[in-house]
């Protein structure tokens, strides 16, 4: 079946965050909303079919996960990530960001230090600060246009109070697919210092051709024994509103601590539709996933080529996974706040401000390209016009300054 990703779907009046919050964020509703990390593609039909099938039963009562829920997860992970996951290791999680918060609460104490690698997905900071723990930044470096971990800085930052490391694998907003060697070195350092690694792998199934996702826990037995891995079908199959995720924790001691917290907080259950949709996604979704990734890769190539040809001052970091593009706009000659306003008010584009991702986000914006190509074409044209207009204004002011100065000098000579 050939899926249609060019279809334009109006999301107004559906409670979509990317629409409803534009006025508050940008001061206007008249922007193309290219910020929230969900897709503007139709959620695949097999997801709706699974929900409709469940709705044929007249009672939506309290429910256990269906008997094929975890086997479906396990088969998917084995097939796509070459990871043999035991049934005892895996359990339901009501969202990955909540899972990060649960791990902070279950495995650390107020005042403990938790390491993150900015610029990185901004809720990482929230779950640490809001739980009264201390954020320790281990900024990643840009090397040959790609993010790389700074292990020397990491080892300098570790203290006896450092208890947890939150990893983004693949990375958001940079789209970096971390290599086996990188993750192995990270595991060795964390193990040496008794640091637990929580690996957010929500983008694991959105890796582009030529790259391979490596689950952190698979790089060594050491990594497996110090880690919690969180995965979800929500990004891949555009169903984040259903909130269906999973934890995978091989170490029984860590698993018991985490599960005890979930059970004590009554947070260990999902809902009927999340269960049904997850099973359907993993059983029926691989062809849709492949076509979606091919289309998104085409969108990334389009944006990269357009910027290189028409707005070379903006340099995109080409992602190896997912639909988010990290834009370096420093050569436009504006500060981060001015950039944000320029994109919104002059170009009519609603993007994420780079500084919300922490250190290293200055002069950057994050662009979501998971939308019909025609929307991106419109966005890039609007941006080109705005930048060109700005350059003309700057040029006119410069010419005016030169003329005034020339008149002034000639006046002095006379």
Q: Could you report the per-residue pLDDT of 59-110, keeping only the tens digit for each?
A: 999 999 999 999 999 999 999 999 999 999 999 999 999 999 999 999 999 9
> Rg of the chain's alpha carbons, rounded to an integer?
24
Give the pLDDT score at 408.
64
Helices 272-284, 45-55: axis angle to 10 degrees equals 140
**Cis amide prior to 170 (ω within 30 degrees):** yes
| Low-confidence winner among 116-125, 153-162, 269-278 (lowest mean pLDDT) | 269-278
CA end-to-end span of the chain, whole Å?
81
pLDDT band for 371, please (50, 70, 90 cuts).
very high
410: pLDDT strictly greater than 70: no
Q: What is the dihedral of CA 351, 357, 359, 364, to 10 degrees?
A: -20
Mean pLDDT of the chain: 95
pLDDT band for 148, please (50, 70, 90 cuts).
very high
Q: Top-level CATH class of 17-43+287-402?
A: alpha beta
Query: How far is the C-alpha of 302 from the C-alpha of 296, rounded, in Å?
Result: 10
Give the pLDDT score at 268.
85
- Of all residues in the chain, the percent with pLDDT exceeding 90 is 92
Q: Which residues pair with 168 in a beta bridge?
A: 200
- Of all residues in the chain, the percent with pLDDT exceeding 70 is 95
Give the pLDDT score at 395.
58
Question: Does the CA dihedral 21-24-30-32 come out positive or negative?
Answer: negative
Torsion angles phi and psi, residue 84, rounded to 5: -85, 105
Give the pLDDT score at 391.
76
pLDDT band for 119, please (50, 70, 90 cuts).
very high
Give the pLDDT score at 402.
46
153: pLDDT strictly greater than 60: yes
Task: Give the residue among 208, 225, 207 at the shortest CA–CA distance from 217.
Answer: 225
Tell me the three state secondary structure of residue 197: strand
Q: Which residues pair with 141 in a beta bridge?
A: 148
Give the pLDDT score at 377.
98
Query: Domain spans of the chain?
Result: 17-43+287-402, 46-284
Give the pLDDT score at 56.
97
Q: Could you report the per-residue pLDDT of 166-186, keeping only the tens digit for each?
A: 999 999 999 999 999 999 999
Quick one: average pLDDT of 275-300? Answer: 98
Q: Tokens 């639909």 map to which residue? A: 323
Q: Could you report the per-residue pLDDT of 9-25, keeping only the tens digit for each?
A: 999 999 999 999 999 99
Give the pLDDT score at 399.
45
Query: How far is the C-alpha of 217 from the C-alpha of 103, rounded, in Å?
Result: 16
Q: How distant, in Å, are the alpha carbons of 27, 31, 74 from that of 350? A: 10, 6, 38
Structure token digits, residue 332: 């436009």
Q: What is the DSSP string of 281-302?
A: HHHH-HHHHHHHHHHHHHHHHH
46-284: CATH, from 3.40.50.300, 3.40.640.10, 3.40.50.2300, 3.30.530.20? 3.40.640.10
Give the pLDDT score at 401.
47
pLDDT band for 228, please (50, 70, 90 cuts).
very high
Q: Could you report the per-residue pLDDT of 345-365, keeping only the tens digit for each?
A: 999 999 999 999 999 999 999
Give the pLDDT score at 398.
46
pLDDT band for 400, please (50, 70, 90 cuts).
low
Query: How far is the C-alpha of 328 from the C-alpha of 365, rounded, in Å?
Result: 7
Query: How far is the C-alpha of 295 from the C-alpha of 216, rounded, in Å?
Result: 28
Query: How far is the C-alpha of 212 from the C-alpha of 221, rounded, in Å?
Result: 20
Residues present in the chain in total: 414
Task: Give the residue among 352, 364, 399 at the shortest CA–CA distance from 33.
Answer: 352
Give the pLDDT score at 405.
60
Q: Could you report the per-residue pLDDT of 306-341, keeping only the tens digit for each?
A: 999 999 999 999 999 999 999 999 999 999 999 999
Greater model confidence, 409 or 244: 244
Give the pLDDT score at 390.
85
Query: How far is the C-alpha of 197 from the C-alpha of 186, rounded, in Å?
Result: 9
Taking 3-state DSSP, the helix, strand and coil percentages for the chain, each rounded to the nearest 5, stand at: 45, 15, 40
Quick one: average pLDDT of 231-257? Answer: 97
pLDDT band for 394, please (50, 70, 90 cuts).
low
pTM of the entire predicted model: 0.94
Provide the strand spans (E) within 58-195: 90-93, 113-116, 134-137, 141-143, 146-148, 162-168
Query: How far is the C-alpha of 230 from the C-alpha of 197, rounded, in Å?
Result: 11
pLDDT band for 297, please (50, 70, 90 cuts).
very high
């Amino acid at each position: 079946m050939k899926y249609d990703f060019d279809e334009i779907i109006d999301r107004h009046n559906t409670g979509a965050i990317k629409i409803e919050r534009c006025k508050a964020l940008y001061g206007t509703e008249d922007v193309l909303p290219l910020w929230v990390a969900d897709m503007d593609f139709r959620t695949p039909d097999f997801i709706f079919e699974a929900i409709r099938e469940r709705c044929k039963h007249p009672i939506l009562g309290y429910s256990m996960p269906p008997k094929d829920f975890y086997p479906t997860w396990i088969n998917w992970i084995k097939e796509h990530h070459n990871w043999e996951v035991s049934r005892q290791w895996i359990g339901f999680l009501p969202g990955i960001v909540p899972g990060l918060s649960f791990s902070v609460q279950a495995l650390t104490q107020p005042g403990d230090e938790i390491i993150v690698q900015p610029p990185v997905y901004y809720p990482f900071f929230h779950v640490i600060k809001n739980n009264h723990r201390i954020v320790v930044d281990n900024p990643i470096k840009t090397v040959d246009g790609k993010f790389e971990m700074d292990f020397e800085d990491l080892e300098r930052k570790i203290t006896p109070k450092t208890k947890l490391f939150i990893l983004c694998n693949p990375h958001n907003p940079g789209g970096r697919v971390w290599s086996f060697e990188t993750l192995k070195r990270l595991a060795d350092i964390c193990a040496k210092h008794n640091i637990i690694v929580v690996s957010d792998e929500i983008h694991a199934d959105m890796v582009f051709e030529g790259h391979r996702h490596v689950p952190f826990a698979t790089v060594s037995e050491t990594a497996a024994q110090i880690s919690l891995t969180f995965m979800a079908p929500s990004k891949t199959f555009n169903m984040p509103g259903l909130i269906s995720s999973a934890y995978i924790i091989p170490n029984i001691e860590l698993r018991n601590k985490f599960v005890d917290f979930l059970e004590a907080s009554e947070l260990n259950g999902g809902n009927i539709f999340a269960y049904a949709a997850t099973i359907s996604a993993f059983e029926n979704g691989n062809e849709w996933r492949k076509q979606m990734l091919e289309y998104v890769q085409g969108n990334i190539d389009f944006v990269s080529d357009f910027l290189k040809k028409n707005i070379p001052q903006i340099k995109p970091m080409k992602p190896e996974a997912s639909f988010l593009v990290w834009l370096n706009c420093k050569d436009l000659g504006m500060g981060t706040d001015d950039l944000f306003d320029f994109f919104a008010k002059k170009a009519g584009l609603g993007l994420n401000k780079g500084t919300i991702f922490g250190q290293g986000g200055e002069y950057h914006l994050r662009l979501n390209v998971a939308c019909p190509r025609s929307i991106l074409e419109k966005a890039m044209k609007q941006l080109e016009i705005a930048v060109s207009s700005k350059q003309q204004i700057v040029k006119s002011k410069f010419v005016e300054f030169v003329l005034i100065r020339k008149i002034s000098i000639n006046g002095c000579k006379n």
